Amino acid sequence: MDPLLAFVDVDYRADHAVAACVLATAWTSPSPADLCVARIDAVAPYEPGAFYKRELPCVLAVLGAVRAPLAAVVVDGYVWLDDAARPGLGAHLHRALGGAIPVVGVAKKPFGERCAAIPVLRGTSAVPLWVTAAGMDPSEAAAQLRAMHGAHRMPTLLTRVDRLCRDAKV
C-alpha cells in the first residue's frame, strides 16, 4: 500500500476530546481515501505555552488507528513557534513519530513577530494560512498547501477533518 497523507484535528468537549484523521492519496485529492475518529477520555488541561501537552496525546490516539503507512501528517497549528526553532505541536509530533514522518503545520493566525512560518494565500482570500514543517522543506510544504483542492482559503481536506471531529458522535 502506498503511503497516505494524514490530516488531523481535535475537538474538545466538556468531558472528553475527539480526534479525527482524514487520509488522502495525494495533496491535491478532492476527497478522503479513509477517515478515522478517536474518543479520548483522559484529556490534559490547557496549559498556556504548552498546548502540545493537551493536543499531542489526542493526535497520537487517532494516528494509532491508522493502518496505512504515512507519507506526512498535517496538523492544525505550528511545527515551529519562532525563528529560533522553538517547538510547537508539530515538532513534538515529529519527535514522537521518531522523526521518520514529515509533519506540516497549517495555522490560521500568525504566531508573533519572530515566527518563520511561510504565508500562503489561497482562493480570493487576502488572509494567509501560515505553514511550518519538520522533515520536509517548508517551501515545499507551502507549495503543497497552495495546490490542495478547494477554491477557498481552507483546502477541502482541512475543512473536512475539522467538520469530522466537531460532528463526531462519540
Mean pLDDT of all residues in 148-158? 97
Mean residue pLDDT of the chain comes to: 94
Mean pLDDT of all residues in 93-120? 92
Distance CA 113, CA 95 (A): 25
Mean pLDDT of all residues in 119-130? 96
Percentage of the chain beyond pLDDT 90 is 86
The tens digit of pLDDT for each residue in 17-64 reads 999 999 999 999 999 999 999 999 999 998 887 889 999 999 999 999
Is 83 a residue whose pLDDT tops 80?
no
H-helix or E-strand spanning residue 18 = strand 17-24
Percentage of the chain beyond pLDDT 70 is 99
The model's pTM is 0.96
pLDDT category at 84 given cuts 50, 70, 90 is low
Q: Give the CATH number of domain 4-167.
A: 3.30.2170.10
Provide the pLDDT for residue 136.
97
Q: Are strands 118-120 and 103-107 parallel, antiparallel or unpaired?
A: unpaired
Provide the pLDDT for residue 106.
98
Provide the pLDDT for residue 4.
98
Q: Where are the domains of the chain?
A: 4-167
**Residue 30, CA distances (Å) to 40, 63, 71, 114, 158 in order:** 29, 21, 17, 34, 11
